Chains A and B, each alone.
Chain A
Amino acid sequence: MTSLLNRLFGRPRKGSGKTAKDRLRFVLQHDRINLPPERLEEMKREILAVIVKYVVVDKDRVEIALEQRDRNQSKLVAEIPVVKQTVPPSPETYADSRQNNSDKPLGETEDSVDEGESAAGDAEEAAVASEDGEGADKEEKENKK
């Protein structure tokens, strides 16, 4: 809406008035959902930490942003490009991360069985992930055009 108004009036925006507006927008975004900027960053890091356990992410191009239309409508918009994997991640890595995160340690016998199962599941998931990755890449390229 701002850009539309600016176009309508053709008023050049520079000076501290513009700064005031930008700062207000920023501070109100966080005020309105009661989530300070630093907490939002923390949340982004946590979200990303979960995602990279499953797929390889192009970290330089990750964008998680808070968007707001008005006081009552906020949304988190995430763009997380996934890198296509030619070699599926090793089953050990996957099992390790799983074990570290489970609340109760698994018994020895169970563990070995579990590992075998997860290895099979893992290959499938990796394949799905890389397909997704390709899709996202394509979309991005299209957007750039």
Chain B
Amino acid sequence: MGGKVVTITSGKGGVGKTTATANLGISLANLGKKVVVIDADIGLRNLDVIMGLENRIVYDLVDIVEGRAKLRQAMIKHKKFEQLFLIPAAQTRDKMAVSPKDMVELTDKLREDHDYVIIDSPAGIERGFRNALEPADEVLIVTNPEVSAVRDADRIIGLIEAADKGPGRLIINRLKTEMVNKGEMLSAEDVFDILSLEIIGIIPEDEFVLSASNSGVPVSLNEGSRAGMAFANVARRVTGEDVPFMDLEENPGFFKRLMRFLDGR
């Protein structure tokens, strides 16, 4: 079967799917993996700017699907990592330009010579999400410790399970430890408690993320950034490595125990 297809989704928009995709891609490449990241948000392309590759786009996902470009032509090589590629979304088309079957065919080709194919799903539960979900071997659900984001995550988790793509794992993004400690924010445990889904990453709120998107250099390339470190840890966990949760990710001992509890279930 070759490489693994990992889809990043969330239901709600603006929780950090694209940031997570870019950083997971970069971090996996940094681990020496061959990686392709696909922007499946047709019409609202953004993964290219987050990764700083917007100037190099000639062809896009729809061009591949409709046969105007060969796969290789539309794969944009990353500036720093030889083995990291981006397939950008088309900007002037809509979600209907691609079908779930197209995505399966595309990712099946990419699997042959890449270790990971990461798909950045659009927000919502419609066609764009279906396109991103269909080829997935594993689904990562990004959420924020916030009522509306967790509610939408619950909905999307239900749809993922119904499509037999479950259970998926959670990335809790933009956690503010100080606020959690004051009781003014849902903690990672709270979110786990409500969604009963394994957590693969807890990303602290970090101003470096905005600087990174300003400059088009994903935050995981910044060793001084805690969010960057947390994303790098997610990548290692995706590869199957057992990485303890960082202190700022909250209570490492607790999560270790939690994971064991879940594994034994």
Interface size, B (range) = 20 to 34
**Which stretch, B43-51, B187-195, B213-221, touches the partner chain A?**
B187-195
Partner of B147, one of A14, A15, A18, A20: A20
**With known contacts A20-B147, A32-B158, A25–B194 Cβ distance under 8 A:** yes
Q: In the complex, A5→B186 CA distance in Å?
A: 14
Which residues of chain B come closer than 8 Å to A24, judged between CB atoms?
A: 147, 150-151, 186, 194
Q: For the complex, what is the distance from the CA of A47 to the CA of B115, rounded to whole Å?
A: 57
**Given A28-B151, A71-B157, A17-B187 contact (CB < 8 Å):** yes
Q: What residues of B have a CB within 8 angstroms of the CB of A18 in the complex? A: 183
Q: What 12 new A-B contacts, CB under 8 Å, besides A17-B184, A24-B186?
A: A8-B254, A9-B189, A9-B251, A12-B183, A15-B182, A17-B183, A21-B194, A23-B147, A24-B147, A31-B151, A31-B155, A71-B154
- Which of B150, B180, B193, B251 touches A17 (beta carbons < 8 Å)? B180
Query: What number of A residues sit within 8 Å (CB to CB) of B?
Result: 25
Docked Cα-Cα span, A72 to B187, in Å, equals 23
B residues apposed to A, CB below 8 Å = 146-147, 150-151, 154-155, 157-158, 161, 179-180, 182-187, 189-190, 193-194, 196, 251, 254
Q: In the complex, which residues of chain A have a beta carbon less than 8 angstroms from the beta carbon of B147?
A: 20, 23-24, 27
Residues on B with beta carbons closer than 8 Å to the beta carbon of A70: 196
A72 to B184, CA, bound (A): 29
Cβ of A127 to closest chain B Cβ, rounded Å: 46
1/0 contact string of A83-95 vs chain B (CB within 8 Å): 0000000000000
Chain A residues within an 8 Å CB radius of B254: 8-9
CB distance from A17 to the nearest CB of B (A): 5
Q: Which residues of A contact B251 (CB under 8 A)?
A: 9
Question: Given A1-B193, A2-B193, A71-B161, are A28 and B154 also a contact pair (CB < 8 Å)?
Answer: yes
A13: Cβ under 8 A from any B Cβ: yes
Q: What 5 A-B pairs have minimum CB-CB distances, sorted nearest first?
A: A15-B183, A17-B183, A15-B184, A70-B196, A21-B190
Query: Contacts of A32 on B, CB cut-off 8 Å?
Result: 154, 158
- In the complex, which residues of chain B have a beta carbon less than 8 angstroms from the beta carbon of A2? 193
CB neighbours of A109 from chain B (8 A): none
